[in-house]
Structure 1
Amino acid sequence: MAPAAPADPREAVTVLEVPHQGSLLEFPSCPSCHSELGRPLIAGLPDDFAGAVLTGLADESAGALSAGTLRIDRAGFDPAGSSGNVFSALGRLLRGAISASQNGREPEEAVQGAMRRW
């Protein structure tokens, strides 16, 4: 006998959530969020970058994810150095790192391997 389907269909899939805050033009032009990467960033994600992160997170070739909800709750961008392509790649890297961790592999090695393939 096959197991019963979950009552909530979301229990059988991974739900991806990336909050966004409008168009790039609606954000302040002055970065104010400290960053370990160098220059300060603007906190939050405009629609275009959030969509790019979702595209990268949804790329199943980066690895399988367990069922549940994956919510990005911290983000920032550099108004001069950010692009949709970069945020899409970051989404794929994050998915690969989470997949590695969930499957008993070292996340850092998975990310380094993906970056070497670029």
Structure 2
Amino acid sequence: MLLSSLVVILQFLVVAAAFAVIDAVWLKLLNPFYRGHIGDLLAQRPNLGYAVAFYVIYIAGIVFFVAPGARRRQLAERRRLRCPPRDPTSGASAFPQRQDLLRAAEGPCHVVQHG
């Protein structure tokens, strides 16, 4: 339970950091464009409280609704292909004695199919 909570917190922090960097670069580069085209609609100073609230809710939606569904779908696909479970930290098979089977059927076990 503690490990899964730490994973969720880590996912949240990683996504938040990525959003912060991308948003900062985007707004810095395109600020003149926005000011030139919709300057009268923009506030003189951005309200960071609203921005933080939006991103917390948005990122929570990604972490709590999108990521678990993607993991469930990937696991279901691996089960359908009869692939051994993977170690999430290294990507290696959780069952080293089945490495020879993995090499024999390398194609479907290493391809994530989206449908």
* TM-score, normalisation: structure 2: 0.29
Report which of the two structures shows the higher radius of gyration computed on alpha carbons. 2
Higher strand proportion (structure 1 or 2) = 1
